[in-house]
Amino acid sequence: MSRFLGVSLKMYLDHRSTLRWIADVAAIADEQSAVADGTVQLAVLPSFVSLQAAARITAGTRLELGAQDLSWADSGAFTGEVSGRDLAALGCRYVEVGHAERRRLFGEDAVIIAGKLAAAQRNGLTPILCVGEEERVDEEEAADFCLDQIAGALGDLDGELPELIIAYEPVWAIGADRPAGADHVRAVCRRLRAELADDHRPQQVRVIYGGSAGPGLLAQLGDAVDGLFLGRFAHDPQQLRQVIIEASAS
């Protein structure tokens, strides 16, 4: 199974900086043989307004595209919402569902997240489902918490989902100085993987880590994770280049 590196730009970069960053990273992706041969998959999730222009830049490159959110509805009277149908038509392959910031700042609960996951499935998008405990607790409690979030999100799923990415992001490690400890991350991700192996609705599940991730982390996490979900520490394309090289080597 190939390793997955996703970068959410959140709302950090403005439109012009986003497009510059995407052009730089697309060039880096094309020069890396592991990305070219599919051993490492690389995706960027810019804000909605940049998706169309981003799709033009990434066309024909190995840099894939995703969105940071979607509506649980596909069309209709839903002011301000963006449908999975449009995201797929724009060229997105991935969509983030249930990020901690959406849960905390925008009131997304288990019902909304399950609806969004089902919308991703309906529209042929691969969900990047974000889960993670809010406070520092031991790995057993953290994994239990994440498994509850996953069960809630998959609750409404009808039929199979070709591909699911679980982004394990302990809330307390997001926006921090450093990631969660490697022992903790390894233990939680191993347990998530083991429990998900019995759920046959997603045909392929990858578990990645996010939360202040950057260069040097993959070597510590080893094969306990299938990749990383990056934020601030990928804003410098050269830092991301370093992470790609590390993902290629591991």
Ligand X SMILES: O=C[C@H](O)COP(=O)(O)O
For 193, counting Cβ atoms within 10 Å of its Cβ (0-12 exposed, 13-18 middle, 19+ buried), the class is middle
Smallest distance from ligand X to CB 60, Å: 26
Which residue number, 131 or 150, has a Cβ lying nearer to ligand X? 131
Residues 170-209 that bind ligand X (CB under 6 A): 174-175
216 contacts ligand X (rule: CB under 6 A): no
108 contacts ligand X (rule: CB under 6 A): no
Stretch that binds ligand X, among 53-61, 84-92, 103-111, 230-238 (CB under 6 A): 230-238
Q: Is 169 a catalytic residue?
A: yes
212 contacts ligand X (rule: CB under 6 A): yes
Distance CA 104, CA 98 (A): 10
Distance CA 37, CA 17 (A): 28
- In DSSP notation, 10-50 reads TTTS-HHHHHHHHHHHHHHHHH-HHHHTTSEEEEEE--GGG
Which residues neighbour 17 within 8 Å (Cβ) at sequence distance 6 or greater?
none
222 contacts ligand X (rule: CB under 6 A): no
CA-closest candidate to residue 148, choices 131, 165, 134: 131
Which residues neighbour 150 within 8 Å (Cβ) at sequence distance 6 or greater?
129, 131, 166, 192, 196
Smallest distance from ligand X to CB 160, Å: 27
Residue number of the CB atom closest to ligand X? 231
210 contacts ligand X (rule: CB under 6 A): yes
Catalytic option among 64, 96, 169, 246: 169
Q: Is 163 a catalytic residue?
A: no
Instruction: Out of 124, 181, 232, 245, point to the residue binding ligand X (CB under 6 A).
Output: 232
233 contacts ligand X (rule: CB under 6 A): yes
CA-closest candidate to residue 122, choices 50, 70, 48, 45: 70
72 contacts ligand X (rule: CB under 6 A): no
* Site for ligand X, rule CB under 6 A: 8, 169, 174-175, 210-213, 229-233
Known catalytic residues are 99, 169
